[in-house]
Amino acid sequence: MAVAHARITPRKALRVLSRQEVNRLKDASKTGLYEIFKRCAFAVLNCGSNGDDCYAQQDEYSEFEIEVIQLDRGIVLDIFNAPENAFVDGEVIFGIREHLFTVLRDIIYIHDEIINNPKFLNDPDIHSSELMTNMVFHILRNANILRYGTPNGLTVCWGGHSIAREEYDYTKEVGYQLGLRALDVGTGCGPGAMKGPMKGATIGHAKQHNKAGRYVGFTEPGIIAAEAPNPIVNELVILPDIEKRLEAFVRCAHGIIVFPGGAGTAEEILYLLGILLHPENKHIPFPVVFTGPASAKTYFEKIDAFIGCCLGEKAQQKYTIIIDDPEAVAIHMKKEFKRVTEFRKQHNDAFFFNWMLEIDSEFQIPFTPTHQSMSDLNLSFDQPVHKLAADLRRAFSGIVAGNVKQDGIEEIQRHGPFKINGNNEITKPLEALLASMVEQQRMKLPGSKYVPCFEIVSQ
């Protein structure tokens, strides 16, 4: 079922657009913004969907339309054939309405102030680390994600969207323990391990009569179509690509909790470890916890073994593994947040944005997974360990694209699986880890058949 027509106005996120901005959104050509906006808006209206197939709702999407109308008093959105679950008593749910205008805000801002801004576009150092960090900062500031003077730390939670019920319940319990300690939660904003911590934290915050709890969702256009924002998110920001999304996570986080997951979670882990292994970052406190129920013990043993084989003991020292103890996880993070706060005070770093982290451009330049770029990855030990982590991250990024992103799926359909080449001492552990993820149904939703989008070629 779909709702034939609805008209909505913004309350908080965005109130006015210029006529030029409205005209760009009406441009349905490939060079315009409309298709990106439509895709993200449809995902928001599907809030709460647990699917991960970008084609599953293609027919419904083809009937859906959304139009931006500029009135003298401001802007309105006309919505046609929207999913019925976005409405209650004929009205668009408040949170979904605000997320729609958040999408509009971020897409317009990124297009005008980042992608087509001469300040960035004409800079000879367009790929410099500092410039790309500034892009991330500007996007987050425009979205009001950076809160000066906020005393609570932001706990970023990573993990899979296709996890077992026992693991999902565990993420809720961890979130509950964080909420009891007034810690805010940020995630990739989708289902599974991204939804559970937020849901648990709402109860913890409510018990402490904390009405200012933050549930921050970080996403990007390629992911949002496959992983619609969950209903708990009360602050949403759309970054232009996966690399800026990942940097936003680590710049905003005061610590990161990793739950069991698939290729996307492995990508996030490798991104984070690659940054923490940079020589300039070795003295910066950054708490990282791997955690799950007792049934996830083997999963984390495999992850830990893979990291040890490929990145070494120093990488293993960058995180703590806590199994089946949600309270211990929250206590650990609360304690470590105090250390993070003191360090930032001593070094005059912002509490809301970790400027001190050194992030090389290898972790910032957008990676487009193609058969050529995937086969060109340098999976060997003849480079610094943090650069190896960067290429391992790209390998998993390509697998994520082949699993759930429309462009990646179409690339696989045209040319077959990606071929990942590398040193035998790296590709063998990589192959074993991926095989275990497939066996545990961590690549797709439980019950759906997974067809690998990759082949491992050892040298």
Give the amino acid at 421: N
CA 68 to chain CA mean position, Å: 27
Question: Is-contact 251 357, C-beta < 8 A?
Answer: yes
pLDDT of the residue at 60: 75
pLDDT at 53: 56
Q: Does domain 142-346 have CATH number 1.20.1250.20?
A: no
Q: Tell me, what's the pLDDT at 399?
A: 94
Q: CA 277 to CA 189: how far, in whole Å?
A: 27
Count of Cβ atoms closer than 10 Å to residue 27 Cβ? 12
Helix (H) or strand (E) holding 395: helix 385-404
Query: Which of 245, 230, 240, 236 is closest to 216 using CA atoms?
Result: 236
Sign of the torsion formed by the C-alpha atoms of 301, 328, 276 and 403? positive
Strands 184-187 and 2-8: unpaired
Instruction: Give the model confidence (pLDDT) of 277-335 as tens digits.
Output: 999 999 999 999 999 999 999 999 999 999 999 999 999 999 999 999 999 999 999 99
pLDDT value, residue 218: 96
Count of other CB atoms within 10 angstroms of residue 55: 12
The pLDDT, as a whole number, for residue 121 is 63
Tokens of 420: 């990942």
Residues present in the chain in total:
459
CA distances from 255 to 234, 317, 335, 391 (A): 20, 15, 11, 24
> Phi/psi of residue 211, each to 5°?
-90, 0
Q: What residues form DSSP beta bridges with 155? A: 185, 255
Q: Tens digits of per-residue pLDDT, 182-199?
A: 999 999 998 899 999 999
Strands 154-158 and 255-258, by their bridges, are: parallel
Q: Where are the alpha helices (DSSP H) in 110-226?
A: 118-121, 129-142, 165-180, 196-207, 221-224
- CA separation for the pair 204, 262 (Å, rounded): 28
pLDDT of residue 26: 66
Contact in structure between 210 and 174 (CB atoms under 8 Å): no
CA 72 to CA 67: how far, in whole Å? Answer: 16
Beta strands in 264-395 (DSSP E): 288-292, 320-323
Q: Where are the domains of the chain?
A: 2-122, 142-346, 363-458
| pLDDT at residue 111, rounded to an integer | 85
CA distance linking residue 193 with residue 100, whole number of Å: 23
Q: Structure pTM?
A: 0.91
Q: Torsions phi, psi of 418, nearest 5? A: -65, 140
CA dist., res. 74 & res. 44, Å (int): 22
Q: In tens digits, what is the pLDDT along the chain, a chain of 459 residues?
A: 678 888 888 776 555 667 777 776 666 555 568 888 888 899 899 876 655 555 556 667 788 999 888 776 678 889 999 988 899 998 999 989 889 988 888 988 888 888 777 776 666 666 688 989 999 999 999 999 998 877 678 999 999 988 899 999 999 999 999 999 999 999 999 889 999 999 999 999 999 999 999 999 999 988 887 778 888 999 999 999 999 999 999 999 999 999 999 999 999 999 999 999 999 999 999 999 999 999 999 999 999 999 999 999 999 999 999 999 999 999 999 999 999 999 999 999 999 999 999 999 999 999 999 999 999 999 999 999 999 999 999 999 999 988 888 788 888 999 999 999 999 999 999 999 999 998 888 887 666 778 889 999 877
Stretch (H or E) spanning 155: strand 154-158
- The answer to whether domain 2-122 has CATH 3.30.1850.10 is yes
Six token digits for residue 273: 């470890």
- HEC-encoded secondary structure of 43-63: HHHCCCCCCCCCCCCHHHHHH
